[in-house]
Structure 1
Amino acid sequence: MRTTRLLVAGFSAAILLTTTAAAASAAEYHHYVALGDSYTSGPYIPVQRIDPLGCGRSTANYPSVVAAALHPGRFTDVSCAGADTTNMTRPQKVPFDGTNAPQLDALRVDTDLVTLGIGGNDYGVFGTLTATCPGLRASDPTGSPCEQHFSASGTDTIMAAIDNIGPRVEAALATVHERSPGARVLLVGYPRIAPEQGYCPDVLPFADGDYAWLNSVEEALNRTLSDAADADGKAEYVDTFGPSRGHDACARGGSAWINGKNQDVFAAAAYHPVKAGMAGVAAVVLKALT
């Protein structure tokens, strides 16, 4: 246990030093707006905000860590669990009888920094995977039953859905530029969930062969986001998949950025970033801002 605590402490110190150094080199910002889904909002990561509670918006999510490092004149976080690109311009109903206003309504003419993490919920991509794949592992533990399930028609329907996400993200970026023409806009990708090698079915209960497929799905989604930023021509794509290598859900010794299958209402939602993951993503974002 002592070794684990030392590893966690060392990792946290490294993140803090990286974050501080990056912040010192970043420009001064007057109004920072954070937009996105649950990988931005941080459901169950303490301390949760209640504006509205159903958005699962943490005061320790990566936008909050970035804001704490940059000290912008004003910080507005409207990210919300369950959001997809339609919720950039439409209100979103959330649990506990709440509503999150259209996220782009938070933008102002003088907004000069925007981070956006969106796309994984479009066409139900992430939710469909986490709801379906664990239940298929028992049928073929060493095979790839989930990939086969979604390719039964001869077409990988998950990959096909991802192909359609790009135009939606491009449209969202275009509206961001319209409302905040002077803003620096960062489109933040998704960190890795599965390891490059090895398995941990007790934590990530996908069939062994589906680990590689899950990685390919994430790579495709992140590639779609990167292409959307390129097509936009003004936004910058921030890769978190590469920097999160070794910090997947299977990582040991407190180095995981992603929670596994077990929901922890005092730490993180299932298959979502933990506090250390948010700190890690924040360090990557701050490095991009230098």
Structure 2
Amino acid sequence: MIVREPRVPSPYRRLLESVAVREDVVRVAGSDTAWWTYDTPGADDDSPVVLAVHGFRGDHHGLEPVVAQLTGVRVVMPDLPGFGESTPLEGEHSVAAYAAWLTAFAAAVGLDESVVVLGHSFGSIVTSAALADGLRASRLVLVNPIAAPALSGPRGVVTRLAVFYYWAGAALPEAAGLTVLQAAPVVRFTSLAMVKTRDRGLRRWIHDQHDSYFSRFADRRVVLDAFRASVSSDVSSYAARVAVPTLLIAADRDDITALPAQHELRALFPDARLTVIDGVGHLIHYEKPKEAAAAIRGFVA
């Protein structure tokens, strides 16, 4: 695992300073799962609880800008096993394994069926799979949901390059493969491919976030397993079996899932609404967290 501390101050740091944060660790499915509790301004023991799951190769830091914009809710956010400060699962890191882990995690930390579950990007697949397979919750929020197979997205060629990149990381000897998978130029290329904002300061901070957190995975096996899971499944596989009200927060410039696919995904859920945020791509949580939080607040209320 590469640990590099951020060098660019967060534009949301002052808002985050008003959020009370507590860190804990719980043993779930063979993983020592690190998790954080965020009490946003106005939250108390009777406030709605949001269980949030981050995306591929990220950790809990990624969704903090959205948390910073929320009020009156408690957010529980773990690092996915094998990423950030959580140790790996026992066995393969598949969508099914992550979904089972999430259900067990919710039970282990005492979350009941009133919880609102939120997933971003790969987290949208994990959370949808978990609810489809029996995780009890009151609502589901998906930010930048993976609505269709990644290889069919607007930039499918880039995704195919990513497949080759991870294949090379797997084919090389252990040390060389890990070096390739953590290569700083590749992390920066990925960041440049996703960012849409023209704000130079915000772009610099986003790249620094990826530089700092995108290579905090436990080992090569974990990241290769998770990548295969991320490109072999999507939310549409689980939508029909999600029985709770669902909010999709999509972007009009998302290069991983085109907007028409988001409209098609909404129709697959028994009860879903779609909010589209303009002028942003797959990084709603970094570039438009205020708009995302506003949609979440209205839905939870």
**TM-score normalised by the chain length of structure 2:** 0.38
**TM-score normalised by the chain length of structure 1:** 0.39
